[in-house]
Chain A
Amino acid sequence: MEKDKFDYFIKTEKNSWEVIIGLEVHAQVISDSKLFSGSSTKFGGKPNTQVSLVDSAFPGMLPVINQYCIEQAIKTGLGLNAKINLHSIFDRKNYFYPDLPAGYQISQYKNPIVGEGVVTLDMPYGSKKIGIERLHLEQDAGKSIHDLSPDNTFVDLNRSGVALMEIVSKPDLRSPDEVNSYVKKLRSIMRYLGTCDGNMQEGSLRADVNVSVRKKGEKKFGTRCEIKNVNSIKFMEMAIDSEAKRQIELLESGKTIEQETRLFDTKKNETRTMRSKEEAHDYRYFPDPDLLPLEIKQSFVDSLKKKLPELPDQKKERFIKKFKLIPYEANLLVSDIDISKYFEEVIKNADIKLAKNWIIVELFAVLNEKKLDIKDSPVSPKNLGSLINAISSGEISGKIAKKVFEIMIETGGEPSQIIKEKGLKQQSNPKELEKIITKVLQNNSEKVSEYKSGKEKLYGFFVGEIMKISSGKANPKLVNDILKEKLKK
């Protein structure tokens, strides 16, 4: 099979354009309490119930850093094959907004906790390495709600102070597909590590997308624009496409691109300016004097490294080697930690080949249709395993198994129970089968003669009748053996 070639170039009448993309992904850290205070980080709490005096920046309040958030950042850095900086500094990023109570955000500027790394994507045209520039820890802001009143904004500070990891990629991405793959890969790595749940609907994962264009073959980068706060992969793809086209249109008409921050309007499917030049922020970063430099011991990093779980790339290699899966299959089964867990649970006691097919084809189809995550699958891994074993042992045929599976989806029930109740057990008794086959042949003696004189197509008819009488339970292999034998005579 020929490998596809990379081909995302935007072609106009005059030119062929390449799109350069860099992503700044904001990932909410999994931790019980906030980065610098002891309030809860749970999603969906009633407004302002998860807010401390520190979170709301009352006079005299001071930050104290959460040990676990430091660990989570280091683990993520290790998962990105990145350099862990043993010395890093927290800086204040100063600006005014109602959901930023202190008037500054505690972030990291010149000395982040994690340095350069790399993430590998599996694209149809081969594997591609995307460089990671850095990862740093910072506070999330609260929520400003603009649509509860015409004149006023309502502010909820529950999210204010929750730990975020900002992961900055190098401008190595070249298409919406690569962005899709990159975000999914990052998400998967963090879910494997347990450092971020990647739930984009709840806002645990958001991205700022930097887009620029250049003529195919050109070496210099064009001026980039930043599209802020895109919270779904689909919107990222759409935003990149529309922004690239906007820039190309400008450049082809002789205009220049102004470096600016834009928002993606999901209804109009276009980007628009967020900030005018006048309001351009000067964040006046400086080291936070309420905190001290963060010093991490190499031995601590090493101990975290030892305890890391198997990551997607490693698991994929192992699945290919050990279970003889093809890369495509392995990719699907490791793409999310919940899927890989499900698969590994099923194959504990069931045939691997059947398991992978049932999961990738049958189960995924159902989950997609019902818009469910695998962790909410109506069919548990144990039950799927039992179903597969029922096929392997010959208790039921593959065709019957599909029926059983349908019932399992509706009821969440156990396969052996269902087989028993519905009497779906395969008829594998040769004597019984012989009776049925003999009857069918007897009742269709004309067709038997026709078959014997050469109408070989009628074989299927006989099988069909046998299946009808046996309500589909006749063991297909045995039927074939016996039928063939009988038809010879």
Chain B
Amino acid sequence: MSDFNKSSLSEIVNLIKAKKASSLEITNHFINNIEKSKKLNCFITTCFEESLKSAKNFDNKKKFDGLLAGVPLAVKDLFCTKNVKTTAGSKILENFIPTYESTVTNNLWSEGAILLGKLNCDEFAMGSSNETSYFGNTINPLGKDLVPGGSSGGSASALAANLTPATIGTDTGGSIRQPASFTGTVGLKPTYGLCSRWGIVAFASSLDQAGPMTKNVEDSALLLEAMSGYDEKDSTSINKKKEKYSKNLNEKIKGLKIGIPKEYRVENMPKEIDNLWKKGIDILKKAGAKIVDISLPHTKYALPTYYIVAPAEASSNLARYDGVKYGYRSKKGKNLIEMYENTRGEGFGDEVKRRILIGTYVLSSGYYDAYYLKAQKVRKLIKNDFDKCFKNVDVILTPSTPSSAFKIGEKTNDPISMYLNDIFTVPVNLAGIPAISIPVGQDDKGHPLGLQLITKALDEQKILNIAFTMEKSIGFNQSIKRWWE
């Protein structure tokens, strides 16, 4: 029997289509892995009975042409899955069972995939280490005391630990790319509007975007193709023909211009990151790309801008969690107002409360102009920086994170030091453009580090192609001892 742990998503799909492996076999394999991996705390909910049923049903079909034929997948617990508990990592939704399916996950099941379970994440996607989840933190398979990153920490960890052949997460300020970097996996945030937000628990509406998290770039292209597409139920969804990202994957990068932004060379940048950045540049040079020095002058204002816009939108998006229609309702409270206050006081964790309070403050009377309006203006400047650069270069190359995975508990005392994790990823969300993080090497502790490729809106194929090419030259390999089993 093949060791499916070594197989990529694409390989598994091909095996199933060629009937060299059954969906049931594969599903059982991953269920086994999951059952042995409780220590990692990647899963909030599993639905093995249904998974096996679906796998058997799949195998009974005569022919199946879906992109994800018969493949079992776990998804971040931010996607509403019909009849399967969806918590967003929060107490306030701890028993919420949606009666509807998110568009993105529905797209996956339509392509033949099967749900394995729901993956842990920072509460309401607010965090960079998966330490704010009501269901406990997730551990990075690369080290017992390491965070996997966040907010899609459960997703990245499960992927790296082979608990799922691929997965999907959401990225609002880096929540796919940063955990990908921390776990040595590939994470892509698509152009804003490429994937539907309908049925995804909303954090910051103008920034949230679902994306694939995979072991390699080919898988990323395949999964992106399956999950993306216009949705008329989402007013911000882009109406364009679906692209065949995996079919069109190629290594033709000769002559492409790669921008290196000087503002990403931050003070006190660890030498290893700088070295890996240089390594990336060399690989691209050798492949025939042209390296261009560029400037994104407003880069350093991206993080403060993000920490005004995102909490503001979140404070409004999370107002619906009031204990009236669904979710947790406090037993304390003699009247309506007390019920609201106690429900939300007890149901939300500390980080979520901080962000709601900041968000409410920056929108409040007397402060709106100074904070929110100002931030939206700076956001325009940041977007303009990118638009200007993309007139001269095809793609921008930067490190994904300012460090490798840090220790659990290391940054929980200081919100700002936690926020600084997203320094390289956040500008991308503010501009609504796509970016991918691929693993390029390890730091001196042996922990993985990633490089980020950014391009202009709707040009995913370009960064997939470049990432694909680089991946081959890098030959990144990580063997993880299954210490948690």
Contact = CB atoms under 8 A, between A and B. Distances in A.
Direct contact of A and B (CB under 8 A): yes
A53 B101 CA distance: 12
Interface string A135-171: 0000000000000000001010000000000000000
Closest 4 CB pairs of A and B: A103-B319, A284-B363, A289-B205, A289-B206
B370 interface: no
Nearest to A99: B324
A92 B322 contact: no
Interface residues of A, number: 29
Given A59-B80, A60-B199, A290-B236, A284 B324 contact: no
B322 A60 contact: no
A326 interface: no
A292 interface: yes
Interface in B194-238: 197-202, 204-206, 232-236
A56 interface: yes
A65 interface: yes
B271 to A, nearest CB: 40
Contact of B98 (A58, A64, A65, A285): A58
A59 B235 contact: no
A101 B321 CA distance: 9
A58 B325 contact: yes
Contact of A286 (B88, B201, B233, B372): B372
A57 interface: yes
Interface residues of B, number: 42
A289 B360 CA distance: 16
Contacts of B320: 57, 59, 101-103
Interface in B285-333: 312-313, 315-316, 318-320, 322, 324-326
Nearest to A94: B316
Interface string B173-210: 00000000000000000000000011111101110000
Contacts of A98: 322, 324, 336
Interface in A68-125: 92, 94, 96, 98, 101-104
A291 B319 contact: no
B368 interface: yes
B202 A59 contact: yes
B86 to A, nearest CB: 7
A285 B315 CA distance: 12
A103 B316 contact: yes
Interface string B367-393: 010001000000000000000000000
14 contacts: A53-B100, A58-B80, A59-B88, A59-B202, A60-B198, A61-B198, A62-B198, A104-B316, A104-B319, A282-B364, A284-B360, A285-B368, A289-B205, A289-B236
B107 to A, nearest CB: 14
A57 B202 CA distance: 11
B160 interface: no
A222 interface: no
A60 B80 contact: yes
A286 B372 CA distance: 9
B368 A284 contact: yes
Nearest to A64: B235
Interface of B: 80, 86, 88, 93, 96, 98-100, 102, 197-202, 204-206, 232-236, 312-313, 315-316, 318-320, 322, 324-326, 336, 340, 360, 363-365, 368, 372
Interface in A40-74: 53, 56-65
A286 B368 CA distance: 9
Find the residue from B88, B324, B326, B363 having the highest chain A CB count within 10 A.
B324
Find the residue from B93, B204, B232, B368 having the highest chain A CB count within 10 A.
B368
B235 A290 contact: yes
Contacts of B233: 62, 64
Find the residue from A98, A104, A286 having the highest chain B CB count within 10 A.
A286
Contacts of B319: 94, 96, 102-104
A63 B365 CA distance: 26
A286 B340 contact: no
B313 A289 contact: yes
Contact of B86 (A59, A61, A94, A153): A59
Nearest to A157: B325
Contacts of A155: 324
Nearest to B359: A284
Contacts of A153: 336
A285 B206 CA distance: 16
A278 to B, nearest CB: 12
Nearest to B205: A289
Given A103-B318, A282-B365, A286-B316, 10 more contacts: A61-B198, A62-B235, A62-B236, A94-B315, A96-B322, A103-B320, A104-B319, A284-B315, A285-B368, A289-B205
